[in-house]
């Protein structure tokens, strides 16, 4: 896996050794702790925290908690997401700052869940499937790296290759949610454009507007799909 170069840390005026990726580290630790807790059958965290389209109204917090649970008992799923978060997340956090990075991670997670919801046929198998993993959030980080700007001194070839390989894998292998990948990627790209394609003085405002617009759009898309499901159920 090609990783971003260190150059963009100079864009923010902060050295890598001086500003550790705090949010990235906290997310990785929290996700690791939850993975260990998943090993306790009595907690049943995989089913309690996974995202299920049919439960979006009854238990809406699942659109976020989905990023905390991963496939058990093999650690491969967790490691794949955490390695991507470690390399790409550390880079993007230093480029955007901690709070904006956290917004990207959270909205990327929601964006992945919403895309799963919107593309799931009501009352089909997909409608009641448990979706797990931080793939939507990781792809949101990748979406930021795809923004066409010189403010990010990254290896764009490696980023594009990562996206292509993961989407190809998702389409070819059953059980991989390419929908979550797509939703996260779009969310991250939009937020990245809001933060990086405007003058520095306007970036905070534009990022906030992009985040608000995304959130409203995701709410509208979810409401549309839920209403469609109600209409089918009433037939």
- Which one of 8, 50, 70, 181 is the catalytic residue? 181
Write out the H or E segment, with its range, that includes residue 229.
Answer: helix 200-234
Q: Is 135 a catalytic residue?
A: yes
- Name the phi and psi angles at 25, rounded to 5: -65, -45
Give the rounded distance of the alpha carbon of 163 from its chain centre: 13
Select from 87, 72, 108 the least CA-distant residue to 180: 108
Q: Is 17 a catalytic residue?
A: no
- Which one of 135, 177, 203, 222 is the catalytic residue? 135
What do you get for the CA distance between the two ends of the chain, in Å?
50
Query: Which tokens go with 92?
Result: 């993007």
Alpha carbons 211 and 144: distance in angstroms, whole number: 13
Enter the DSSP assignment of 89: I
Residues 6+ apart with CB under 8 A from 13: none
Asked if 176 contacts 132 with a C-beta cutoff of 8 angstroms, the reply is: no
Residues classed as catalytic = 135, 181
């Amino acid at each position: 896996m090609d990783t971003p170069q260190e150059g963009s840390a100079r864009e923010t005026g902060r050295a890598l050794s001086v500003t550790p990726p705090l949010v990235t580290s906290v997310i990785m630790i929290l996700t690791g702790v939850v993975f260990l807790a998943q090993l306790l059958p009595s907690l049943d965290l995989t089913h309690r925290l996974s995202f299920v389209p049919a439960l979006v109204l009854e238990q809406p917090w699942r659109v976020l908690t989905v990023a905390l649970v991963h496939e058990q008992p093999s650690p491969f799923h967790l490691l794949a997401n955490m390695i991507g978060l470690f390399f790409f997340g550390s880079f993007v956090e230093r480029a955007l700052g901690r709070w904006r990075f956290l917004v990207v991670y959270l909205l990327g997670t929601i964006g992945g869940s919403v895309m799963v919801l919107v593309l799931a046929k009501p009352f089909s198998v997909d409608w009641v499937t448990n979706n797990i993993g931080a793939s939507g959030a990781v792809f949101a980080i990748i979406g930021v790296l795809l923004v066409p700007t010189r403010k990010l001194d990254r290896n764009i070839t490696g980023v594009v290759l990562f996206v292509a390989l993961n989407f190809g894998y998702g389409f070819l292998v059953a059980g991989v949610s390419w929908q979550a990948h797509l939703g996260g990627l779009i969310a991250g790209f939009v937020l990245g454009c809001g933060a990086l394609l405007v003058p520095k003085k306007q970036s905070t405002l534009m990022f906030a507007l992009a985040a608000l617009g995304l959130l409203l759009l995701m709410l509208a898309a979810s409401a549309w799909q839920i209403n469609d499901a109600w209409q089918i159920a009433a037939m």
